[in-house]
Amino acid sequence: MMAQSASTAGGRRLAIGFAMLFVLMSLFAFVWGGVVTAGVRERAVIADRQLRSTAWRMLCVAAATGEWPSDLSSTATVACDALPAGDGRWPASPDQACAGGLEPWHRDWMVVVSTDPTGVGAPRLSAGGKATGLGTLETVNGWIEAFHQAHFAGKTAPTAQ
C-alpha cells in the first residue's frame, strides 16, 4: 500500500511540474508575441511616413517638371507647399500628405518604386514587403494614379526607377 501512495505523490509532482512549465512557456510566448507585434507596428508607422513623404515629393516633382522623377534621391530637396487642386484625389499640402510634417529623405528608406514597363502608367510605391498601416499603400498609390490620370493621361511620361 505504501508503494502505491509514493508513486501517486511522484506522479502528482510530475504533473504539477509539467503544468508549471506549460504556464511559464505560455507566458513567455505571450510576452514575446507582444514584443514582436510592437516592433512590427513601430516599423509600419515609419514605413507609412516614408511612403507618404515620398508620394508627396513625387507629386511635387511631377507638377513642377511634367514628368515623374527618374531617381528618388532627386526628390530629397524638393520643396513645395501646395499642389494643383485635385478635388481631394491627392493631398493639397504636405500636412495633408503626412500629418506632423514630411520625413527627411534618406537613401535607406524602405520605399520601393515600380514603374510601368510601357512607360504610360503611373509609378507604384510599396514598402518592399515590410508592414504598413491599413490602407496606406492604396492611399498613396491612389494619389499618384489620380495625379497621373489628371496630368499625363494618354501621354508617355518617364516614370520613377
| DSSP per-residue letters across 50-69 | HHHHHHHHHHHHHHHHSS--
Supply 24's cell numbers: 511559464
Burial of 39 (0-12, 13-18, 19+ CB in 10 A): exposed
Contact (CB, 8 A) for 154 and 121 = no
Tell me whether residue 55 is in a domain: yes
**Amino acid 23: pLDDT:** 94
Supply 61's cell numbers: 516633382
Range of the domain at 56: 44-152
* Average pLDDT value for the chain: 83
Range ranked top by mean pLDDT from 48-52, 107-111, 118-122, 126-130: 48-52
Tell me whether residue 17 is in a domain: no
Q: Cα–Cα distance between 147 and 150 in angstroms, integer?
A: 5
By three-state DSSP, how is residue 113 classified?
A: strand
Tell me whether residue 72 is in a domain: yes
Tell me whether residue 4 is in a domain: no
Give strand pairing partners of 125. Answer: 113
Give strand pairing partners of 142. Answer: none
- The pLDDT confidence band at residue 157, using thresholds 50, 70 and 90, is very low
Closest of 64, 73, 46, 72 to residue 127, by C-alpha:
46
Beta strands in 20-107, from DSSP E residues, in sequence order: none
- The pLDDT confidence band at residue 132, using thresholds 50, 70 and 90, is confident
What does the pLDDT average to over 19-40? 92
Tell me whether residue 138 is in a domain: yes
Q: Cα–Cα distance between 100 and 94 in angstroms, integer?
A: 9
Tell me whether residue 54 is in a domain: yes
State how many domains the chain has: 1
Tell me whether residue 19 is in a domain: no
The DSSP H or E segment spanning 28 is: helix 2-65
Q: Cα–Cα distance between 66 and 20 in angstroms, integer?
A: 67
Q: Phi/psi at 83 (nearest 5 deg)? A: -115, 160
The model's pTM is 0.75
What does the pLDDT average to over 125-151? 88
Range ranked top by mean pLDDT from 30-44, 59-73, 147-161: 30-44
By three-state DSSP, how is residue 23 classified?
A: helix
